[in-house]
Amino acid sequence: MQDLEDFDAEKYGIWVKTFGCAHNMSDSEYMMGQLQDYGYRLLADDKQDAADLWLVNTCTVKNPSQAAMSTLVARGKALNKKLVVCGCVPQGDKKVPELQDLSLLGVTQIDRVVEAVEETLRGNVVHMLAKKKLPRLDLPKVRRNAHVEILPLSTGCLGACTYCKTKHARGQLGSYELSALVHRAAAAAVDPLVREVWLSSEDTGAYGRDLDTSLPDLLRALTAALPSDGRTILRIGMTNPPFILEHLPDIAEALNHPCVFSYLHVPVQSGSDAVLAAMNREYTSAEFRRVADTLLELVPGLELATDIICGFPGETDEDFEATMALVRQYRFPHTHISQFYPRPGTPAARMKKLPNGVAKARSRALTALVDGFGDCYQRLVGSLQRVCVVELAADGRHLVGHTKSYIQVLLEPQEGLMGSVVTVRVTAASRWNVTGDIVSQTAAVSGSQWLQIAALAARPATATAAATPQDQTGVTQAATRNPAMHFSMGLHNP
């Protein structure tokens, strides 16, 4: 490859597009940091056509996300853009037709993004897909949201789900050293803009099993390193049931900590043991219920989200009804619903599919059930909530903040409000969020205040509930977006 020293990066504009999860978003932020540090100009989404090169970070979880990538790549080619495609799609299968004759960058090669971009701008095609040790956590980084630090705990997982294509890309579990994660989180907390630290992984609960440590060990170390006044709060990422079953009291202790959101995303995927076995999920519906029941009992105001796949091969009407019954039982405020998509190269792709239309019909039935849980937040009307304001809503008007349990609170915009901690009186509730008026604004909220609000959240609703601070939660990225069909894993996630 040519010497990069004589390359004038400042001449070139780069547009970065990210599909997929928070881990992908973190990878993009690290790549943007390196590119900016080297001198490249990073262009906003509305300037993409002016970019000299498009860096496309891809997701292989579902057919629609890969199809969206294909459409974008085709548009880039039509515009004669230089293209570097990175992430899980090329790592999982570099023979994808749309990727031929394009530069490809693997998931553990993000620390070589400057090299990949410059070689591509010179007219070369490079493939940097070899697996290697994890990229350093202290690489330069540009946050998409200045108030959110996304902290990748590991890459890969210990599971072997029959429908999962991501395992082909991310591979076996590889965890970052606990000390490196604590150092990165503490450094982020020193930044006066950072209010949330998202712990990201393909399976957060499996963290450290390759290093003779565990997620509870990490959570204790992280909470000890964060400011005790609660101005920086951890959000624990998605965790599958098998790897937290043995740690439920410790997980509950962490979720009750003032520096940790009382929110957890635990995918169940199906309420049927037969379907779970076909998926090779390595737990039963009873074990999922043990996780849910234990945490809901031990964590006041806990907000529990889950995932469901509808129409998995072999799923009978009785299997689907078991899933519906489980959702009715727990009334999850947010159930992230997907139809089954056979991903190439996975065992499930070789299984006999259900008749056309069955998965869609079941998805619609489950969505209608979840949409019907319309009273989730009504009891919050009139209550006082402490809220960290961190982003702009999808409607482009409201500001968005989160309570201790990660409910989305929509606020009218005010100068100096973004990044602050405020006390809000809730004035209205919808299916997916609440709106409120600011009562007072502070620089931070104390740990004792967070715990007081969380304890009040567990009280049953009463006729006088409007005068009692409570905290029930939900999570959605957008003011008008339906999280039953869209889980906000990234800041402008697909």
pLDDT digits (tens, 9 = 90+) for 300-337: 999 999 999 999 999 999 999 999 999 999 999 999 99
Q: Which two tokens stand for residue 418?
A: 């973004």
The answer to whether the CB of 432 falls within 8 A of the CB of 474 is yes
Write the CA distances from 291 to 262, 306, 360, 398, 479, integer angstroms.
15, 12, 29, 35, 30
Neighbours of 81 (CB within 10 A): 17
- What domains are there in the chain, each with its CATH number? 9-128 (3.40.50.2300), 149-259 (3.30.750.210), 262-373 (3.30.750.200), 378-467 (2.40.50.140)
Q: Which residue has the tokens 């869209």?
A: 486
Rounded average pLDDT over 114-125: 96
**Token representation of residue 228:** 């005790």
* pLDDT tens per residue across span 203-260: 999 999 999 999 999 999 999 999 888 889 999 999 999 999 999 999 999 999 999 9
pLDDT the model gives residue 138: 94
Q: What is the pLDDT of residue 126?
A: 96
CA distance 300 to 175: 30
Higher pLDDT, 281 or 169: 281
pLDDT tens digits along 217-230: 999 999 999 988 88
State how far the Cα of 418 lies from the Cα of 292, in Å rounded to an integer. Answer: 34
Per the listing, tokens 């490079």 go with 126
Tell me: pLDDT of 171 over 90: no
State the pLDDT at residue 5.
Answer: 58
- The DSSP code for 174 is E
Scanning the structure block, which residue is given the tokens 């998605």?
238
The angle that helices 215-225 and 178-190 make with each other, rounded to 10 degrees, is 30
Q: How far is CA 218 from the centre of its chain?
A: 19
Is it the case that residue 73 has pLDDT exceeding 80? yes
- Quickly tell me which residue has 């600011």 as its tokens: 438
Q: What percent of the chain has pLDDT over 70?
A: 88
Residues comprising the chain, all counted? 494
- Taking phi over 0 as left and psi of -120 to 50 as alpha, with beta for the rest, 35 belongs to alpha
For 383-438, the pLDDT digits (tens) are 999 899 999 998 899 999 999 989 999 999 998 899 999 999 999 999 999 999 99
% of the chain surpassing 90 pLDDT:
75
The per-residue pLDDT for 443 is 52
Q: Mean pLDDT check: name the lowest of 131-135, 341-345, 413-417, 444-448.
A: 444-448
- Closest by Cα among 385, 393, 387 to 145: 393
Q: What is 84-118 written as a DSSP string?
A: EEEEHHHHH-TT-GGGTTSEEE-TT-GGGHHHHHH
Category of 156 on φ-ψ map: left (φ > 0), alpha (ψ -120 to 50) or beta: left
Which whole-number Å values give the CA distances from 183 to 136, 137, 156, in the listed order? 12, 9, 22
**Joined tokens for residue 259:** 């520096």
Instruction: State the pLDDT confidence band at 484, using cuts at 50, 70 and 90.
Output: very low
Identify the H or E element spanning 369: helix 358-371
Contact 329, 335 (CB under 8 A): no
Residue 401 neighbours by CB under 8 Å, 6+ apart: 387, 388, 389, 390, 408, 409, 411, 422, 424
Q: Alpha-carbon distance 167 to 304, whole Å?
A: 25
Would you report the helix, strand and coil content of the chain in percent, each value rounded to 5? 35, 20, 45
**In the predicted model, what is the mean pLDDT of residues 3-29?**
87
> In this structure, which long-range contacts are made by residues 291-296, counting pairs with CB atoms below 8 Å and at least 24 apart in sequence?
291/241, 291/244, 291/245, 291/248, 291/266, 292/266, 292/330, 294/248, 294/252, 295/248, 295/251, 295/252, 295/255, 295/264
